[in-house]
């Protein structure tokens, strides 16, 4: 569970809802003599400025953490070719022939080694989503026909990792999965 | 206000509410199937999913358009013929679409992401019929939008209709906020509908070329999400145009006026909304990085005019101000709150590093159901309620108001909470059945289905009351 994201959302949502409820209650208690908000233009200016600063900070902190920059300066220790096809994943150390796709029976990595997944699709769009042993989504990319997406990742914990398809691809989408091992 | 326009608007409202009830039932059926309370085949589930998605997008788009068309008649003369034509083409388009799905079993999802429509897992005729249904809907809606834009341009100059005169000192002419927002929104909608038509033409080109022409998957994905993102957001802005016009009026307050910052905010919105769609392609690492960053920045910046101008204006209008609260303006107010909360969920997901672990999990339906089911739907319901009470000479029936709001809010919160928790728990979206690894998925689906049923009861009460009044308007001698 990505508790931090959920918690952050809950906090900002509750604050926002509280503001609305408070504003509504001030209206219910008002009569013809009450005079709305003082200096609304000035307050609006400060509100937008503060929001802009907060968003600026968020953007500058989060953008460098984007997956495109993950381990971009390092050489991968292992390269895995992934070909997705309704409703299977083929994974192999060597390039996969699109006409006769075949994958390895099992794929194993070492902990903390840099792995590069070269992900494509042989038919429709699919998702390539990696779940750790506690079934938490830790990394993903799309498998798109005609393109290869390169996903780099280091697995810190040993165990069995699951791959699920996260892009709707037809009637057996929910069954499309595979695994690999980290030792 | 002509009685013909009232009758057409009544027909729109009745059609939208009827299709809404059917679509909610399909949604609840999906959640109960995921909870394994009922058992559908995956094909039936994904067919329901496709119908649920596209019908919902379609009806809340036309609901906003019908409301905007009705109010626009206060300022300019609009074409009743085009309004009826749009209604006829919408009904024909929906029936064709339903035939392709319910009978032909087409189930490529409402986003029909290329090349899935061509990997036929359904009746072969269902794919072209689906594409033709899209063409009928897109052409009908495009004619409607262009007709409304033309009606505004007959009265207002380009400078006036975009409210650019407010950037100079002492503007001589006024632009009502409703006209400005309608124009900005309609231009955005025209852009996205033209994209939809290009998309359909490219799909037809491949379909009829029998393999000699193949589309580029990345280009098609960009076009699909440009269209999908824009229409899903622009329909919210149609609702906001209605709020800018009606909130003060219903509340017994002076009419809102356009100022330089309102003009600036809405002009910026047009740009941001047309570039934010890149956030749908964050997980396509082959997309140029510059566009990915632009997607995050545009998504963030889109929240500034929304929060700083529209939301702040609602807060200023209500704070310590005596308001005639009715069900209509309460729905507007709660709808803005739902829009804000959904927007927060959207901004979180539009952050690339979060999207890495949230993309295509239940977080996605969580946030868009928040600003639709608890935002846009309430904007339109507020208008429907006001319209039906005002023009049917009914006595105000506020008896069930508290109950209706209670059912919508409690049902809405419970149903959305199940989605948000599921998203944070990495549960995938669009799964007919959950693999055993997702231990909480079935329970959350059950909770979501039960609370969505409570929401449905609230909507059914609205449906019965509003439709009854609309039928009265439809058959009245002088509405």
Q: Which 3-state string (H, E, C) describes chain B?
A: CCHHHHHHHHHHHHHHHHHHHHHHHHHHHHHHHHCCCCCCCHHHHHHHHHHHHHHHHHHHHHHHHHHHHHHHCCCCCCCHHHHHHHHHHHHHHHHHHHHHHHHCCCCCCCCCCCCHHHCCCCCCCHHHHHHHHHHHHHHHHHHHHHHHHHHHHHHCCHHHHCCHHHHCCCCCCCCCHHHHHHHHHHHHHHHHHHHHHHHHHHHHHHHHHCCCCCCCHHHHHHHHHHHHHHHHHHHHHHHHHHHHHHHHHHHCCCCCCCCHHHHHHHHHHHHHHHHHHHHHHCCCCCCCHHHHHHHHHHHHHHHHHHHHHHHHHHHHHHCCCCCCCCHHHHHHHHHHHHHHHHHHHHHHHCCHHHHHHHCCECHHHHHHHHHHHHHHHHHHHHHHHHHHHHHCCCCCCCCCHHHHHHHHHHHHHHHHHHHHHHHHCCCECCCCCCCCCCCCHHHHHHHHHHHHHHHHHHHHHHHHHHHHHHHHHHCCCCC
Q: Does B435 touch chain A (CB under 8 A)?
A: yes
Please give the pLDDT value at position B139: 95
Please give the pLDDT value at position B50: 98
Q: What residues contact A107, with CB distance under 8 A and at least 6 apart?
A: A80, A91, A180, A181
Burial class (CB in 10 A: 0-12, 13-18, 19+), B199: buried
Is B393 inside any structural domain? no
Q: Which of B42, B309, B438 lies at the smallest CB-CB distance from A135?
A: B438
Is B378 inside any structural domain? no
Closest chain B residue by Cα to residue A123: B115
Is B147 inside any structural domain? yes
Chain A contact set for B218 (CB, 8 A): 144, 146-147
How many helices and strands in chain A, by DSSP H and E?
Answer: 2, 9
pLDDT tens digits, B234-271: 999 999 999 999 999 999 999 999 999 999 999 999 88
DSSP H or E run through A173: none
Tell me the shortest Cα–Cα distance from B148 to chain A, in angstroms: 32
Work out the end-to-end distance of chain A between its first and last CA atoms, rounded to an integer number of angstroms.
23
This complex has an ipTM of: 0.96
Burial class (CB in 10 A: 0-12, 13-18, 19+), A12: middle
Closest chain B residue by Cα to residue A166: B360
Angle B256-B258-B259 from CA coordinates, rounded to 5°: 120
Cα Rg of chain A, angstroms: 24
The residue among B462, B470, B419 whose CA lies nearest residue B34 is: B419
Q: Which of B123, B286, B289, B306 to mutate to test the interface with A (most CBs of A within 10 A)?
A: B286
Is B250 inside any structural domain? yes
Please give the pLDDT value at position B11: 96
Mean pLDDT (chain A, rounded): 95
Q: Which of B225, B357, B363 to mutate to test the interface with A (most CBs of A within 10 A)?
A: B357
Name the E strands within chain A.
Answer: 78-85, 88-92, 108-109, 114-121, 126-131, 137-143, 149-154, 159-164, 177-182
Question: Are residues B113 and A31, on separate chains, in Cβ contact within 8 Å?
Answer: no
Say if residues B48 and B26 touch (Cβ distance below 8 Å).
yes
Domain interval for residue B165: 41-270
The residue among A43, A153, A24 whose CA lies nearest residue B317 is: A24
Tell me the shortest Cα–Cα distance from B9 to chain A, in angstroms: 31
Say if residues A83 and A89 touch (Cβ distance below 8 Å).
yes
The mean per-residue pLDDT over the stretch A68-85 comes to 96
Tell me the count of A-B CB pairs closer than 8 A: 229
Q: Does A102 touch chain B (CB under 8 A)?
A: no
Q: Does A39 touch chain B (CB under 8 A)?
A: no
Tell me the shortest Cα–Cα distance from B53 to chain A, in angstroms: 13
Please give the pLDDT value at position B171: 87
Please give the pLDDT value at position B396: 62
Q: Does B325 touch chain A (CB under 8 A)?
A: yes
Please give the pLDDT value at position B393: 79
pLDDT tens digits, A39-76: 888 999 999 999 999 999 999 999 999 999 999 999 99
Please give the pLDDT value at position B211: 84
User: What's the CA gap between B432 and B421, in Å, rounded?
Assistant: 18
DSSP H or E run through A51: helix A40-62
CB proximity under 8 Å: B 86-125 to A? 107-109, 113-116, 119, 121
Positive or negative CA dihedral for B221, B226, B231, B237?
positive
Please give the pLDDT value at position B397: 63
pLDDT tens digits, B329-348: 999 999 999 999 999 999 99
Q: Which of A140, A149, A150, A163 to mutate to test the interface with B (most CBs of B within 10 A)?
A: A140
State both tokens at B138.
């897109």
Closest chain B residue by Cα to residue A30: B322
User: What's the CA gap between B47 and B303, in Å, rounded?
Assistant: 34
User: What's the CA gap between B283 and B72, in Å, rounded?
Assistant: 41
- Give the rounded distance of the alpha carbon of A105 from its chain centre: 27
Q: What residues contact B453, with CB distance under 8 A and at least 6 apart?
A: B28, B411
- Successive 10-residue mean pLDDT values, chain B, 479 residues: 90 97 98 98 98 96 97 97 97 97 97 94 96 96 98 96 93 93 96 95 94 95 96 94 95 92 93 92 97 96 90 94 94 97 97 97 97 96 95 75 94 98 98 97 98 98 95 82
State both tokens at A10.
């809950």
Please give the pLDDT value at position B62: 97
Q: Does A133 touch chain B (CB under 8 A)?
A: no
Is B71 inside any structural domain? yes
CB proximity under 8 Å: A 66-95 to B? 66-68, 86
Is B224 inside any structural domain? yes
Is B211 inside any structural domain? yes
As for how many domains chain B has, the answer is: 1
Q: Does B151 touch chain A (CB under 8 A)?
A: no
Say if residues B62 and B16 touch (Cβ distance below 8 Å).
yes
Q: Does A23 touch chain B (CB under 8 A)?
A: yes
Say if residues B381 and B331 touch (Cβ distance below 8 Å).
yes
Ramachandran region of residue B36, left (φ > 0), alpha (ψ -120 to 50) or beta?
left
Closest chain B residue by Cα to residue A138: B357
Question: Are residues B119 and A124, on separate chains, in Cβ contact within 8 Å?
Answer: yes
Q: Which of A32, A150, A166 lies at the smallest CB-CB distance from B360?
A: A166
Please give the pLDDT value at position B1: 60
pLDDT tens digits, A111-162: 999 999 999 999 999 999 999 999 999 999 999 999 999 999 999 999 999 9
Is B187 inside any structural domain? yes
State both tokens at B236.
């919210």
């Amino acid at each position: 569970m990505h508790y931090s994201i959920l918690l952050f959302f809950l906090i900002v949502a509750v604050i926002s809802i509280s503001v609305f409820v408070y504003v509504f209650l001030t209206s219910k208690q008002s009569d013809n003599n009450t005079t709305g908000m003082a200096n609304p233009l000035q307050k609006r200016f400060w509100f937008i400025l503060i929001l802009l600063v907060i968003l600026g900070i968020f953007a500058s902190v989060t953008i460098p953490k984007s997956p495109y920059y993950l381990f971009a300066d390092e050489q991968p220790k292992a390269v895995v070719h992934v070909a997705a096809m309704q409703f299977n994943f083929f994974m192999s150390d060597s390039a996969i022939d699109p006409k006769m796709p075949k994958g390895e029976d099992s794929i194993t990595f070492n902990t903390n080694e840099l792995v590069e997944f070269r992900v494509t699709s042989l038919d429709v769009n699919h998702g390539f989503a990696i779940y750790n042993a506690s079934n938490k989504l830790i990394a993903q990319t799309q498998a798109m026909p005609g393109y290869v997406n390169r996903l780099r990742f280091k697995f810190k914990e040993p165990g069995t990792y699951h791959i699920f398809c996260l892009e709707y691809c037809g009637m057996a989408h929910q069954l499309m999965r595979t695994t690999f091992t980290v030792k | 206000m002509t009685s013909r326009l009232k009758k057409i608007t009544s027909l729109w409202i009745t059609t939208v509410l009827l299709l809404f009830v059917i679509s909610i039932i399909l949604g609840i059926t999906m959640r109960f199937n995921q909870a394994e309370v009922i058992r559908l085949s995956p094909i039936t589930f994904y067919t329901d999913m496709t119908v649920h998605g596209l019908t919902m997008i379609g009806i809340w788009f036309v609901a906003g358009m019908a409301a905007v068309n009705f109010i626009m008649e206060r300022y300019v003369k609009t074409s009743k013929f085009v309004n009826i034509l749009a209604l006829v083409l919408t009904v024909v388009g929906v029936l064709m679409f339903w035939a392709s799905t319910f009978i032909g079993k087409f189930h490529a999802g409402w986003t029909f992401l290329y090349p899935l429509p061509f990997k036929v897992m359904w009746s072969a005729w269902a794919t072209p019929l689906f594409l033709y249904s899209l063409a009928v809907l897109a052409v009908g809606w495009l004619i409607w939008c262009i007709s409304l834009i033309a009606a505004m341009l007959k009265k207002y100059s380009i400078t006036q209709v975009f409210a650019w005169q407010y950037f100079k000192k002492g503007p001589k002419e006024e632009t009502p906020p409703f006209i400005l927002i309608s124009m900005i929104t309609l231009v955005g909608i025209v852009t996205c509908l033209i994209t939809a038509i290009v998309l359909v033409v490219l799909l037809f080109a491949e379909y009829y070329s029998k393999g000699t022409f193949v589309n580029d998957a990345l280009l098609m994905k960009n076009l699909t999400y440009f269209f999908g993102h824009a229409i899903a957001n622009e329909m919210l802005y149609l609702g906001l145009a209605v709020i800018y016009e009606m909130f003060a009026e219903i509340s017994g307050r002076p009419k809102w006026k356009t100022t330089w910052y309102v003009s600036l905010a809405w002009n910026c919105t047009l740009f941001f909304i047309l570039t934010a769609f890149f956030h749908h392609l964050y997980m396509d690492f082959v997309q140029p990085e510059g566009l990915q960053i632009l997607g995050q920045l545009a998504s963030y910046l889109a929240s500034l005019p929304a929060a700083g101008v529209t939301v702040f204006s609602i807060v200023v209008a209500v704070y310590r101000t005596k308001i005639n609260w009715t069900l209509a303006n309460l729905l507007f107010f709660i709808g803005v709150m739902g829009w804000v909360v959904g927007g927060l969920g959207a901004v979180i997901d539009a952050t690339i590093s979060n999207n890495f672990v949230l993309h295509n999990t239940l977080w996605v339906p969580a946030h868009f159901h928040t600003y639709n089911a608890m935002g846009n739907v309430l904007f339109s319901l507020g208008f429907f309620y006001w319209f039906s009470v005002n023009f049917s000479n009914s006595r105000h029936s506020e008896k069930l108001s508290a109950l209706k709001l209670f059912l919508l809010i409690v049902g809405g919160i419970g149903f959305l909470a199940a989605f948000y928790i599921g998203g944070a728990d990495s549960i995938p979206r669009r799964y007919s059945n959950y693999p055993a690894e997702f231990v909480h998925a079935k329970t959350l689906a059950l909770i979501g289905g039960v609370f969505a049923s409570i929401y449905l009861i609230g909507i059914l009460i609205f449906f019965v009351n509003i439709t009854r009044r609309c039928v009265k308007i439809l058959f009245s001698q002088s509405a």
